[in-house]
Amino acid sequence: MHIFDSRKLIFTSLGACLLFLMACGGPAPSTETISGAPPAREVSQNKSFDNGNYVINFNIINTELLDPEISRKYDVTRSKNRALVNISVQKKNQDGSKTPVTAVLNANVSNLTGQLKKPDWRKIEEAGGAAIYYIGLIRIANGETLVIDMNVLPDGENDPIPVRFQQRMFTD
């Protein structure tokens, strides 16, 4: 029981910080299909993928763990059976810093049985472009492993970046 409470506190804090940095608004990301993408690169326990020029960050959190005030502010329903998928793209600069960029995001979410989940993707951009996130909300079941297959095409690029990751979700 103590371990669960610690996890809940960590994820609540992480979710609160993440959502605190976001500002509502902006158009939804494009859902157009990107053709000609190479096979996706499987990502294990890492929560980011670096292709050399861009870093793609991603996470899935149970919305029940979000602070109630934050969830109201960003219109995210708190529920043990709902998850928030968060994806961001950053361009690596020559000085080692990273700049958030917009991208065409083509992401499919499914479980291990192949059941497709259709998140309602939203683009969240902090004032001045200091942070850009793409979030999607989906229903989940206890013990369900979610598989995210995505092709990310950063603005100004011709070649999409394919990434695949999985995360097991717990509701109890």
> Domain span at residue 39?
2-168
Residue with tokens 């709902």: 82
Per residue in 93-137, pLDDT (tens digit) is: 999 999 999 999 999 999 999 999 989 889 989 888 899 999 999
Residue with tokens 């929560």: 47
* Tokens at 134, concatenated: 């793409």
Q: Give all strands (DSSP E) within 44-160, no chain letters.
A: 48-50, 54-62, 82-92, 98-100, 103-111, 116-117, 122-125, 132-139, 145-154
Per residue in 35-66, pLDDT (tens digit) is: 444 444 444 456 899 999 999 999 999 999 99
Query: What CATH number corresponds to the domain at position 103?
Result: 2.60.40.3340
Structural domain count, the chain: 1
Q: CB neighbours (10 Å) of residue 13? A: 12
**CA nearest to 28, candidates 89, 105, 85:** 105
> What local confidence, expressed as pLDDT, does residue 10 receive?
40
Across the range 141-167, mean pLDDT stands at 95
Across the range 12-30, mean pLDDT stands at 40
Is the pLDDT at 17 greater than 80? The verdict is no
Sign of CA dihedral 47, 57, 135, 30: negative
> What local confidence, expressed as pLDDT, does residue 46 receive?
60
DSSP 156: T
* Tokens at 45, concatenated: 């326990």
Sign of CA dihedral 139, 54, 75, 106: negative
Measured between alpha carbons, how far is 132 from 76 in angstroms, rounded to an integer? 17
70 band by pLDDT with thresholds 50, 70 and 90:
confident
The strand pair at 132-139 and 82-92 is best described as: antiparallel
